[in-house]
Chain A
Amino acid sequence: MTTTTPHEPPGESALALPAELLVRMHENMVRARCLEERLIRMNKQGDGYFWIGGPGEEAFNTALGLLVHKGQGPAYDYLHLHYRSSATLLAMGADPVDSLRQMKNTASDPYSGGRNFCNHYSVRKWNVVPVSSPIEVQFSMAPGTAIANKRAGGRGITIVQGGDAGTAEGDFASCLIWVSRPGNELPCLMIVTNNQGGISTPASEQHGEKHIADRGKAFGMRTAVIDGNDVETAYRALEKAMDYVRTERKPMLLEVAVSRLYGHSSASGANLITEEADCITLLEKKLEERKILPRAAMDELRARTTQELLEASKRVREEPQPDGSTLYDHVFSDRDLVHDAASRGNGAS
């Protein structure tokens, strides 16, 4: 299902992706799924206090991670993600073991030093700004990095992503307003990953708008509603959306239908839900039908990755926890603003 504004040129979203890319996406999706499943197991076994993550969103989030222009500073893309973005991070090149570290809140957790929940990333060298728990705040911050992108004059854009329920927060309205100020339109791709509800509250009970994406139309923004469970639709639509934002330096609102395969979080049990579409199953069907990958190879990939992550989790278990004496570390930064060119941030990595 793809609906677009009347002005949008006809899409290519139905076009098949090259086999090589599909294999690459499949591998990342499987790694992300195995990672989430390992995180869930760790939590259930007491190796971590809380789980929240993105099983069910791997198709779209992998496409995002592959398409992003990765680097530090406003010449590159900024990512304002939320807690379901593991596949994006892995596709960008993150080490899944670091996610295990954050789950186990070890001192070696590179994203927060054992301070934050799992799947709450911060990767300054890739412009991944800190993920935080309050829903939707990233939509209030996105205009700031988008201003920097626009000012830098290159092709860097700001990508901000959140769920459907969160769009009821004022921050979402703030973002619509701030990225579409007449004469000051910003290169910002707003993404709503719609899994049809909040923790337990169905979207249908709270939202009268037909599509969330329609809200963009009132601001003259290009919008699209796509099926994020199909890798090819997701990749093509995202490629097109990013290209539009990069080239036109204007905002766009993209609504993406996704599944939530293990419920909201560990607080709601984190058990597999079989009634919703599984993007990996759908992709594997295509890969088999098109004779790109045999069943056995796909099964082997999953078994191997599961085993690797299990072993890694055992090693992570032995890594030291942060010492209480480090409590006050980094309350204040001593980065030298005036002399540290990197703090202005310009450089690929």
Chain B
Amino acid sequence: MATLVQAIRLALHVGEERLGVTDIFGEDVGPPLGGVFTQSQGLRTAWNTPLDERGIVGTAIGLALAGQRPVAEIQFCDYAFNTIDLLKLAGGVSWSSAGDYNCPVVLMTPVGSGIRGSIYHSHSFDAQATRLPGWKIVMPSNPLDAYGLLLSAIVDPNPVMLLPPKALLRAKAGPDERIPGEPDDERALAKMIDAPLGDRTRWRPEWPDVREVFVPIGKASVKRAGRDATVVTYGRMVPLAMQAAASVASEGVEVEVVDLRTLHPLDWDAVKASVKKTSRVLVLNEDTEITNFGEHLVRRLSEELFYDLYAPPRLLAGAHVPGVGLADNLERASVPQLEGVVAALRELVSHQP
């Protein structure tokens, strides 16, 4: 049973062996380390770059324009802010050239809090990323989705950004989230593909014969069905929403949890279908709340489903502070916690129009 980070590694392996990926690169991505989260260990086409995020994004664009198939990484999304204009350019290649060129870059950058990452290493990137027209933005909440979304990203002719939540990188797959072909025993998998500690010069991974799964970009997944309220969420907040839903279920409240998986292009049909059924909706993410991607969802919900709603659509998001403070109490006060989600759900279902 792969963890999310192993799932990424397996997808990159499939990408370079079967789907034409030519370069997997970024800071400390190549040997000996294979990525600060182990995401690129043992990969044939992984290489280390200078410590230069703009160079990484620029080179990825150049490679893509020259028919190569790059997967680039920004080590932490906290350090992607100086690349914004290059990201804008990548998103604009096809449109600006009226379709002459396209720019098939895959950019991975881990996001979010929950690993005691302090002010930097805890930022979210959803709002920034969704302000980049021409990019597809995907955000997995479990290993199988990470695997399948990454494979879809690799074969997409457009720039695609994968935003894996750092706090879920070691999360294990649920029972129906297995990657076909991976060994049943998690220790067996670790033995095959995790680099050993110490000298790795002679180590070679033994790749399991995993099969391709393409999780479609632009398709949400209903993680739990319910009739009383909908939580629209993604990434790290999905497991939290599931816990909250389980908690209120004991009070007789049935919450539907929609995992967007792709932020853009958005699966509006899935959101609409769920909210039309439940008439109450909570949007949940951990990015700072002002000009938050969830505000876009709330705007569309209000404009398009106003007469279907029994309660005002609600957004629960991170505090608008410059970073996530290191101390436990600060982090808990910054990003949504289980109690907060449960309280928001109770309020939502008890609201009378």
A residues bordering B, Cβ < 8 Å? 73-74, 78, 80, 109-113, 115-116, 122-124, 127, 129-130, 132, 134, 137, 139-149, 151, 158, 170-171, 174-175, 177-178, 181, 329-338, 343-346
Contact = CB atoms under 8 A, between A and B. Distances in A.
Interface of B: 19-20, 22-23, 49-50, 52, 54-55, 57-70, 85-86, 89, 92-104, 133-134, 136, 155-158
Contacts of A175: 55
Contacts of B63: 144-145, 147-148
A130 B23 contact: no
A141 B104 contact: no
B158 A333 contact: yes
Contacts of B133: 331
Contact of B99 (A147, A171, A333): A333
Nearest to B93: A130
Contacts of A343: 67, 102, 104, 157
Contacts of A158: 62
Nearest to B98: A113
Contacts of A109: 98
A122 B65 CA distance: 11
B183 to A, nearest CB: 28
A332 B89 contact: no
A115 B60 contact: no
Contacts of A129: 62, 65, 101
Contacts of A110: 98, 100
A338 B96 contact: no
Given A111-B100, A158-B62, 14 more contacts: A73-B67, A110-B100, A129-B101, A137-B85, A140-B61, A140-B62, A147-B23, A148-B66, A329-B98, A330-B97, A330-B98, A332-B134, A332-B136, A343-B104
A101 B251 CA distance: 67
Contacts of A124: 97, 100-101
Query: What 8 pairs across the A-B complex have the smallest Cβ distances?
Result: A144-B62, A140-B58, A113-B98, A148-B66, A333-B102, A122-B97, A344-B67, A144-B63
Contacts of A151: 22, 68
Contact of B52 (A74, A123, A174, A332): A174
Contact of B157 (A130, A146, A333): A333
